[in-house]
Structure 1
């Protein structure tokens, strides 16, 4: 595998800010922009022309808020938005009628509204909308008028319109999630490459840089999880995507192994730093195992980026065979006679082998059984995977 200079991960970050990357980002979000524009316009038209609201400003606002949410909870958030509006308007109307409006009155109304919202729901969106509804009654909308309740109904119109737009103009339930999985696996590959080079060259400065960069990958993990949950929601709401449900579920199953992979890579990088700071070394075989893992992670990233079932059917079984070979090579004798840090590096390498096998579709039990045993009584003997190589983790 060709070596790359230290700083691969940092260069990946820099690419994200290039003009070309910005253009790609705009192109990638074109469908989301179309959804937002249509939902806002439709919500306003429905509220004004069908329900007779003169200035239904909150209908398009609610639609855009719902569409802008991530994490696959837009249906739930639409209900919370409407609930928050109803409670806020009702409390504001009731309290302002008794105590009047002004600075201290707004403080009282918002405080009471937030307490009630906290009792009704733990969702921040409910609390925010309750407070906003109360403030509107205290400042713009006179108590007892229908304006506040029109706003409450506008929120419902906006939420429903947003869900309808999601159903008739859905975003791909797989493309975004698979792209984020590919990005995280690409980071894994880059970090492993840099770690192997830094250990070989005993470059503590480079390892500090890699470790600093990899600590900032939690945002990428969160984006990956949110994108997949949003894809699941889209495939549930839109009849046009019901045929994708099975593949979305398959994608969801690998999220935990991908998350575990990046976590184990962080631990490996930290221990590699300790190793080099102590001026200790690992066996050459350990470095070869890490480099091979980097190459496999890079290949897996490509599989998920291309997003084709044909590619998966051809390439994943080959990667599984390579990981099996690594599992057999990563035996305890590789770090025999080495310091504790070297043994920890080996242990983390073994954990990453298991994680990547699970990303390829294996069950954890079958993946662990691939490893050369380090115990006289292993929970999952090596013979298991020879009989049932993919366990219950079907490759799709």
Structure 2
């Protein structure tokens, strides 16, 4: 990592001349931006998953103790901690479904593997045969990816650790899996639940910042008649799928915590606002892609471009930044609403000054995005649409 930073500083410090200097420096700037983004994403993921790692460790230890010392299994209760870790590591917001898949997959794997184990016994070749047969039968019976994966993994464990002769082994292993899954849920929802608002904000902040940055970049590209700058912004907007997916998962996970954790239920109303805001943000991203595509056409076709139109797009980006700041501070988003309606006013005046086909389309999308942003600030859909119409006039 230190060598990478040193090379980056050296490449930025030495900019040789020549006819290709501008083009080469543009390529290097793009590389620097990508590496900075990658490092930031790694730090963000480490911060998020370090808590998950602690939860998984606690759940695994508790599951081993419960399964080994409270009578469920005194002989190698390996399925309990495995199920506990699988539950903690399951998709955020889908842990209840994950527990069902774990238990069903383990039960299916145990039943099939034990049947084959009684016929073929232990060994490397036997393990391969058992796993193959278990997966094929699981696919034939369910066809569900999560169940199939869990059944195959369970078959490996059964063939490797199950004693050759024991009564009630299958029932004990299944009991271990159920115990581990329940303890995993207990750890992440009741004993050590995360702050649901912090979960959502950590996921929402990158998406808000990215959308704000690309809208301001599009406004700047319009003002400079820079089609390549608008194309770059469009590509960045297309690459926002991961941020939006993480936000959706975070909202589901936070809702799960608030629903089942007694100490987190008082955040239910605040979380509802975040949940609704996430839906409107997703729609705003889709609309922004259309706005940027139309902006590229406007620039390339040389259509008439009043200065107020780039300012309107730029103000939408600033409104998103202010919305993020208001969410962090926990205050009413008056500034974001004011900036959003200012953008609608500017777009309306630009339309009256005269626009071509693409310019008119940009104005329409500005109004669409403005409506979504207003709704993200807890304004009803009817009121938001009325406010946009009044500001446009």
The one-character-per-residue Cα deviations of 1:68-95 (angstroms, maximum 9, x if unpaired) are 1234121221122111111221133335
**Matched residue of 2:239: which SS?**
helix
1:1-396 pair list within 5 angstroms: 14-18=35-39, 22=42, 25-50=45-70, 51-95=72-116, 97=118, 101=126, 106-118=131-143, 122=144, 124-137=145-158, 141=162, 145=166, 146-166=168-188, 167-304=190-327, 306=328, 308-309=329-330, 312-313=331-332, 316-331=333-348, 334=351, 337-372=354-389
**Matched residue of 1:52: which SS?**
coil
Take 1:259 and 1:158, find their aligned partners in 2: how far apart are those partners?
Answer: 36
- How many angstroms does 1:149 deviate by? 3.6
How many pairs does the alignment contain? 360
- For residues 253 and 78 of structure 1, do their structure 2 counterparts lie closer, same or farther at Cα, with a shift above 3 Å needed? same
Greater RCO, 1 or 2 (C-alpha within 8 Å, sep 6+): 1
- How many angstroms does 1:281 deviate by? 4.2
- How many angstroms does 1:17 deviate by? 3.2
- How many angstroms does 1:106 deviate by? 4.7
**Matched residue of 2:195: which SS?**
coil
Take 1:322 and 1:251, find their aligned partners in 2: how far apart are those partners?
Answer: 20
Q: Which residue does 1:394 correspond to in 2?
A: none
Take 1:47 and 1:86, find their aligned partners in 2: how far apart are those partners?
Answer: 17
Take 1:37 and 1:340, find their aligned partners in 2: how far apart are those partners?
Answer: 59
Query: Does the CA contact (< 8 Å) of 1:331 and 1:372 recur in 2?
Result: no
Structure 2: state its 5+ residue gaps: 1-25
Take 1:246 and 1:10, find their aligned partners in 2: how far apart are those partners?
Answer: 43
Take 1:103 and 1:127, find their aligned partners in 2: how far apart are those partners?
Answer: 16
- For residues 106 and 160 of structure 1, do their structure 2 counterparts lie closer, same or farther at Cα, with a shift above 3 Å needed? closer
Take 1:136 and 1:31, find their aligned partners in 2: how far apart are those partners?
Answer: 28
Query: Does the CA contact (< 8 Å) of 1:189 and 1:297 recur in 2?
Result: yes
In the superposition, the TM-score normalised over structure 2's length comes to 0.82
Structure 1: state its 5+ residue gaps: 1-5, 375-380, 383-396
In the superposition, the TM-score normalised over structure 1's length comes to 0.81
- How many angstroms does 1:135 deviate by? 4.5
- For residues 102 and 226 of structure 1, do their structure 2 counterparts lie closer, same or farther at Cα, with a shift above 3 Å needed? closer
- How many angstroms does 1:31 deviate by? 3.0
- For residues 27 and 98 of structure 1, do their structure 2 counterparts lie closer, same or farther at Cα, with a shift above 3 Å needed? closer
Take 1:115 and 1:168, find their aligned partners in 2: how far apart are those partners?
Answer: 39
Moved more, 280-289 or 189-198: 280-289
The one-character-per-residue Cα deviations of 1:346-390 (angstroms, maximum 9, x if unpaired) are 11111111011011111122111112379xxxxxx98xxxxxxxx
- How many angstroms does 1:317 deviate by? 2.4
More helix per residue? 2
- How many angstroms does 1:137 deviate by? 4.4
- How many angstroms does 1:174 deviate by? 0.7
- For residues 332 and 98 of structure 1, do their structure 2 counterparts lie closer, same or farther at Cα, with a shift above 3 Å needed? farther
Take 2:109 and 2:362, find their aligned partners in 1: how far apart are those partners?
Answer: 56
